[in-house]
Chain A
Amino acid sequence: MILSTIHTGIGNLGHLLVIISFVAAIASAMSYGRASHLNEISTGSWLKMGRGLFWLHGLAVLGTVITLFVIIYNNYFEYHYAWSHSSVNLAVHYIIACFWEGQEGSFLIWSFWNALLGFILIQTNKKWEAPVMTVFAAVQIFLTSMILGVVLGDIKIGSSPFLLLRDVISDPIFLINPDFVPEDGTGLNPLLQNYWMVIHPPMTFLGFACTLIPFSFCIAGLWKKDYKDWVRPALPWTIFGGVILGTAIIMGAYWAYETLNFGGYWNWDPVENAVYIPWLIMIASMHTMIIFRKNNTALKTSIVLVISTFILVLYATFLVRSGILGNTSVHSFTDLGLSGQLLIYLLFFVGVSIFMAARVWKHIPTSEKEASAYSREFWIFMGALTLCLMAFQVLVPTSFPVMNSIVELFGGLSSLAPPANQVAFYSEWQVWFGIGLALLSGTGQFFFWKKMDKSKIITAITGPVVVSLLISALIFSVAKVNKPVYILVLVAGVYSIVSNGKILFDLLQSKSYKLTGGSIAHMGIAMMLIGIMFSEGYSRVISKNTTTISRDFTEEQNSNNVVLFLNDKKIMGGYELLYKREAMEARGVPGYIKKSYLNDTEDAHYKTANVPIVVKDQTYAQPGDTLYFRNPENTYHEIQYTSLRSGRSFTLYPRTQVNEQMGQTIVSPDIKKQWNRDLYTFVALQSDFDDEFTEWEKEKMQVIQPGEQFFINDYVAIFQGLERIDKVNFVTLDPDDAAVKANILVYGDDGDTLKMEPKFIIKDNNVAKPPELNQEIASRITLEEINPEDGSIGLGIETTQKDWIVLQAIEKPHINVLWIGTLVMILGFIIATRRRYVEFVKMRDKGV
């Protein structure tokens, strides 16, 4: 047993900081609220107090973040959070990722962003400080309460990340030694050990935090009955939030595409939807706010949409973290028993928003005049409506689990399940909204910059329409788009690119660079639409074949998979495929190492080489050398593709991961990227010679002299001699015990030399003869007997079918158009954010 000290001080410090941040947030909200009530600006005493307390709050949050990070970074496994989310075998950047693997850490990063944005607002906006920061501090009360970890009677408030392991887990070892510290943590889930895990979650929470800014300004406007002025400072932050959250969503999509095997970047999983919905509403609110800034209409719509965005973020949080999604999602958090608290958080702000809006609703100025169909407002407003309908269509089925729960709450029985084919179900609607958006964004731009009437618009629009029809016809004939709805997507998308491109061209000519954000972002969206249409609509399984399911069920079925046997070529979809080896990734060795070259040790992270490991003429390990494997749960399957047409070949390494944390095997694709398509390949199933479905031939006995050649499963083998060994994995050899191994060389495919070492162990006068399995030559051999008189051995040889994998390969045409489109969209957003922020600063400085 390892004696170690428990670092209780740092945990107490963390807990204290959480309590300080919680109390300071309450006090700050109250002071700021009082200051707002008294209309104090810049120097009022309540205002100063609120500001000071918010700084204290923010610094305490920062302190909490640092404390938790120190605990994780230093492997203080006496803490439950470190133990359950980190381990010693993690690379440094994944140690950062551990921070937000758990609910507590992700709440913490969220409130950290809120505090940071609060600091920026305090510095940049004096006029609105009091009411805006009241809302900020109120939100922070709820967020910090989630990690408070205080128990009052039967009520638990929040889940603290600073709990000691012994206080969370009851294990007899703590009775024997309360200071027991595990040597290693259980680690960051291997599936999440990916660079996207470092960047995607904080980006998402920054996006969430950004929705708080327009919400706070809106509530402040309603509160102070200053119905119009809040829009100007809120708008740049709405656009900024839109690009951050949008980028975060796309990062998540790309991550899913690269590592998960469902064959796409978007699976309409409830967790994905939960973030997509507020993003759409946020973009809609951004557009209505732009209308309002132009001509004072759409104010009420903007208020409703800004509030809805924030409420939908809270709803998303509730869905993802309360455990209500249960079986319907692959990646919701586990329930920490915070669902009640999350519900209060949600309902509190729903109540406050409705109250604040209802109180002054009839005083909010509206414009009586009808928007003309030739005005930009009309077109932008239609676009915003389309975005809302898009969000609504996703919201309804995503809320099924909530509806089931509500019905059950009232004693009913509801068993609504998500649509069986989610992708088809959502796409069917979303594609039409997408077409609508492309047409609206293409046409709306013409009205944006000039006054239009019927005759002018016809002249303005004819050129782009003709050009886009020509381009579409060209693409149509080359790429053979044949489904009517896809033709519409193509035409609408090209139209949006052409007409926005024309506006962009005009703007560049008049050197109005800073106004180009809108047209660039719209071009990006249209490219994304076209990219999605091609890559999803024309995604093609190239490993298709027909099969008979079972002897009892002879109807022919299409199968999307092929079986590949080791070193056996197979033709598929214009390629010759060759499954060459199972391999692993070792530290310090480039590429991958064949599994048969490695012997296990007692620690899965360390394996010894049984032949020299040579890569590109350089030797990285001699037989017997130990290599380190950071992720021994990962196996890579080397598959060589040779094009039948060009004869060129490339190699893919799809991965399978035996993920014990999730209790399942996770398969990840490898993707060959070409300019006009991706070739996406994953291993659906691999042979496991230890399972019950492997049929072994009857064991054959063979007596072999040292130096004699013989055959194992048709491979030539040589018995080189016996060797006494003093170490056997998981066996302690006492002086009276003995262990011997037979050194056998096997000549594998392609002149490869493999080693097999069956063992004969005498332990406590009992004999053990563990069979030695080699997956590559599909055999297992047992050292049945040793004849000391002539040094010969008796080998039991069992053979089976060759090693195989079941492979699926999918072609995704023109997926790069989607990724390029996202970059273009992000660029447009950034330009637009800058423009609106400069506008706000100018007006503010004029006002002061």
Chain B
Amino acid sequence: MKKSSLIGLVVIAIAIAIIVSTAGDASSYVSFDEAKTLAAAGGDRSIHVVGELKKDAAGNVVGLKPSADKLSVEFILIDDQQKEQKVYLNQPMPSDLLKSDKVVIIGGYHEEQFVADKVLLKCPSKYEEKSL
């Protein structure tokens, strides 16, 4: 075999390996029910769930509690399918959690509990000023 064809084959093999590994490591946006099914099926991959904090009729966030030592926080998230889930975040409460419109949590189920490693907040931003 010519050396150039061999190199070509190696390059293609690496490219395929990259695609396979990317597909394997890609996370996805799911609901709590799907996440639970995934966890039950033995998947320990981190997934993204998008939701909103639970609020009472007056619009106040309910169920949000920083731990006594302030190093972690628990809160209730409602996903797009309206399912409620208590979420534990092993990080100090992000300072804008209460103000956020949408919360993306990245993590997975540990038995019945959802433990998030990371949260991303989407806050109402004044980036695009529409009024004075």
Q: A417 to B127, Cβ gap below 8 A?
A: no
Residues of A within 8 A of B15 (CB): 389, 392
CB distance from A24 to the nearest CB of B (A): 32
Q: What B residues does A693 contact at CB under 8 A?
A: 66
> Does A561 sit at the interface, judged by CB under 8 A?
yes
Output the least CB separation between A596 and chain B (Å): 21
Query: What is the CB-to-nearest-CB distance from A843 to chain B, in angstroms, rounded to a whole number?
Result: 31
6 contacts between A and B (CB under 8 A): A169-B129, A169-B131, A189-B127, A389-B18, A547-B67, A563-B69
Contacts of A547 in B (CB 8 A): 67, 69, 71-72
Q: Given A417-B26, A550-B65, does the pair A561, B99 have CB atoms closer than 8 Å?
A: no
Residue A561 contacts which of B4, B26, B46, B91 (CB distance < 8 angstroms)? Answer: B91
Also in contact, A685 and B3, with CB within 8 A (given A561-B71, A563-B71): no
Contact with A along B109-132 (1 / 0, CB 8 A): 010010001101111111111111
A51–chain B nearest beta-carbon distance, Å = 41
Residues of chain B with a CB closer than 8 A to A416's CB: 26, 28
Give 10 A-B pairs besides A397-B26, A550-B65 with Cβ atoms closer than 8 angstroms.
A169-B132, A334-B127, A371-B4, A389-B18, A417-B47, A419-B26, A420-B118, A429-B21, A661-B126, A662-B125
- A370 sits at the interface (CB 8 A): yes
Are B131 and A171 in contact, CB atoms less than 8 angstroms apart?
yes
Minimal beta-carbon separation of B72 from chain A (angstroms): 5
CA distance A549 to B66 in the complex (A): 9
Q: How far is the CA of A547 from the CA of B66 in the complex (A)?
A: 13
Chain B residues with CB under 8 Å of A385's CB are 7, 11
Complex contact B95–A685 (CB within 8 A) = yes
Kindly count the residue-residue contacts between A and B in the assembled complex, taking CB atoms under 8 Å apart. Answer: 142
Q: Which residues of B contact A421 (CB under 8 A)?
A: 46
Known: A327-B104, A425-B25, A429-B21. A171 touches B48 (CB 8 A): no
Q: Does A665 contact B (CB under 8 A)?
A: yes
B45 within 8 A of A: yes
Complex CA–CA separation, A83 to B132 (angstroms): 10
User: In the complex the two chains form, is B71's CB within 8 Å of A665's CB?
Assistant: no
CA distance A553 to B91 in the complex (A): 14
Check B18–A429 contact: CB distance below 8 A.
yes
Q: Do A550 and B67 touch (CB < 8 A)?
A: yes
- Contacts of A725-752 to chain B: CB distance below 8 A: none
Chain A residues positioned under 8 Å from B122 (CB to CB): 327
**Which of A418, A557, A691 is the one whose CB lies under 8 Å from B27?**
A418
Pick the contact of B74: A373, A417, A420, A550 (CB < 8 A).
A550
Task: Give residues 382-432 of A contacting B (CB, 8 Å).
Answer: 382, 385, 389, 392-393, 396-397, 400, 415-421, 425, 429
Partner of B126, one of A397, A549, A663: A663
Indicate if A684 sits at the interface (CB-CB under 8 A).
Answer: yes
Bound together, the chains give a CA A189 to CA B126 distance in angstroms of 10
Give the distance to chain A from B26, nearest Cβ to Cβ, in Å: 5
Question: Is B43's CB within 8 Å of the partner chain A?
Answer: no
- Determine if A550 and B125 form an interchain contact, defined as CB atoms under 8 angstroms apart: no
Within 8 A of B (CB), among A330-379: 334, 370-371, 373
CA gap between A382 and B6 in the complex, in Å: 12
Smallest Cβ-Cβ distance to A378: which chain B residue: B3
Counting CB contacts under 8 A, is B35 at the interface? no
> Please, which residue of chain A has its CB at the minimum distance from the CB of B8?
A385
For the complex, give the distance between the alpha carbons of A662 and B3 in Å: 55
**Roughly how many angstroms separate A252 CA and B81 CA in the complex, as a whole number?**
40
Binding site for A on B (CB under 8 A): 2-4, 7, 11, 14-15, 18-19, 21-22, 25-30, 45-48, 65-67, 69-72, 74, 88, 90-96, 98-99, 104, 106, 110, 113, 117-118, 120-132
Are A417 and B29 in contact (CB-based, < 8 A)? yes
Interface residues on A, range: 35 or more
Q: List CB contacts (< 8 Å) of A645-664 with chain B.
A: 656, 660-664
Nearest-Cβ distance from residue B125 to partner chain A, whole angstroms: 4
Complex contacts, A396 vs chain B, CB 8 Å: 18-19, 22
Min C-beta distance of A450 to chain B, whole Å: 22
Contact residues in A for B120 (Cβ distance below 8 Å) = 327
CB distance from B70 to the nearest CB of A (A): 5
Q: Which A residue's beta carbon lies closest to that of B120? A: A327
A49 within 8 A of B: no
A507 at the interface (CB under 8 A from B): no
A559 close to chain B: CB less than 8 A: yes
Closest Cβ of chain A to B119, distance in Å, is 12
- Within 8 Å of chain B (Cβ to Cβ): is A794? no
- Does B27 lie within 8 Å of A419, measured CB to CB? yes
CB–CB B28/A417 < 8 A = yes
Chain A residues within an 8 Å CB radius of B124: 663
Q: Among A400, A419, A563, which residue has the most Cβ atoms of chain B within 10 A?
A: A419
A538 vs B52: C-alpha distance in the bound complex, in angstroms?
A: 37
> CB of A804 within 8 A of chain B?
yes
A488 located at the interface, meaning its Cβ lies under 8 Å from any Cβ of chain B in the complex = no
B96→A370 contact, CB < 8 A = no
Contact B90 A557 (CB under 8 A): yes
Q: Chain A, 673-689, contact with B by CB distance < 8 Å: what is the 0/1 string?
A: 00000000000111010
> Which residues of chain B are within 8 angstroms of A662 by Cβ–Cβ distance?
123, 125-127
Chain A residues within an 8 Å CB radius of B118:
420
Instruction: Determine whether the beta carbon of A370 is less than 8 Å from that of B3.
Output: yes
A705 interfacial by beta-carbon distance below 8 Å: no
**Neighbouring B residues of A393 by C-beta, 8 Å:** 18, 22
Question: Is the CB–CB distance between B28 and A186 below 8 Å?
Answer: no
A393 and B121 CA atoms in complex are apart in Å by 28
A-side contacts of B18, CB under 8 Å: 389, 392-393, 396, 429
B22 and A806 form a contact (CB under 8 A): no
Q: Are A420 and B27 in contact, CB atoms less than 8 angstroms apart?
A: yes
What residues of chain B lie closer than 8 Å to A664, measured between beta carbons? 95-96, 99, 121, 123, 125
Question: With an 8 A cutoff between CB atoms, is A84 at the interface?
Answer: yes
Contacts of A392 in B (CB 8 A): 15, 18
Which chain B residue lies CB-closest to A388?
B11
CB of B19 to closest CB in A, whole Å: 6
A721 at the interface (CB under 8 A from B): no
Q: Whole-angstrom distance from the CB of A542 to the nearest CB of chain B?
A: 15
